[in-house]
């Protein structure tokens, strides 16, 4: 069973492989990280770990038992009890309910481990999979329209209080 793990330095090889193997798949629905992300990966990872240590962000990986990264689930821009949720799944790990289950688990961790009360998220209108995960996990559209890499999208919000 895959496990949600907090980002650590030893995740580097598996995380880089995940990003490289899924880059084209991701670019179809979420903003591309750009070439610098891959050429400067060690520095990018160090910066993310520094942000995490400062409590600004909380980065997580969904890791298969053999160590392969199946997804990323991040809480960024932590401030005043809220954070922005972002996630991406490996193409081969989609359509199995893993993203929905992991977002639900992360919502619980956000409240119990990080003291967060509200999570926000955004998804492009054409990213049906992410929008479905958000609504299945209790996020509701705010009515605010956003642009994500030039594509129209919607903002969502969710309380981290347990769902009825």
Q: pLDDT tens digit string along 51-62?
A: 999 999 999 999
* Cβ proximity of 120 and 155 under 8 Å: yes
Question: Where along the chain do its domains lie?
Answer: 3-159
User: What's the rounded Cα separation, in Å, for the pair 121 and 3?
Assistant: 22
User: What's the rounded Cα separation, in Å, for the pair 16 and 33?
Assistant: 12
* Cβ proximity of 2 and 27 under 8 Å: no
Query: With bands split at pLDDT 50, 70 and 90, how would you rate the model's confidence at 148?
Result: confident
pTM: 0.93
Q: Write the CATH number of the domain with boundaries 3-159.
A: 3.40.630.30
Phi, psi (5° rounding) for residue 18?
-60, -50
Task: Please check the confidence at residue 142 and state whether its pLDDT lies above 90.
Answer: yes
Query: With bands split at pLDDT 50, 70 and 90, how would you rate the model's confidence at 163?
Result: low
> For residue 42, what pLDDT is reported?
96
């Amino acid at each position: 069973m895959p496990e949600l793990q907090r980002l650590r330095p030893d995740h580097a090889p598996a995380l880089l492989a995940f990003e490289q193997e899924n880059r084209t798949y991701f670019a179809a629905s979420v903003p591309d990280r750009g070439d610098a992300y891959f050429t400067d990966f060690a520095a990018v990872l160090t910066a993310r770990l520094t942000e995490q240590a400062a409590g600004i962000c909380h980065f997580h990986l969904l890791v298969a038992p053999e160590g392969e990264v199946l997804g990323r689930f991040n809480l960024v821009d932590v401030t005043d009890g809220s954070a922005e949720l972002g996630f991406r799944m490996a193409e081969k790990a989609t359509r199995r309910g893993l993203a929905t289950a992991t977002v639900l688990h992360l919502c619980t961790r956000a409240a119990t481990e990080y003291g967060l009360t509200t999570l926000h998220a955004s998804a492009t209108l054409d990213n049906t999979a992410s929008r479905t995960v958000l609504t299945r996990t209790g996020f509701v559209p705010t009515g605010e329209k956003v642009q994500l890499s030039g594509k129209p999208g919607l903002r969502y919000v969710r309380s981290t209080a347990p769902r009825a």
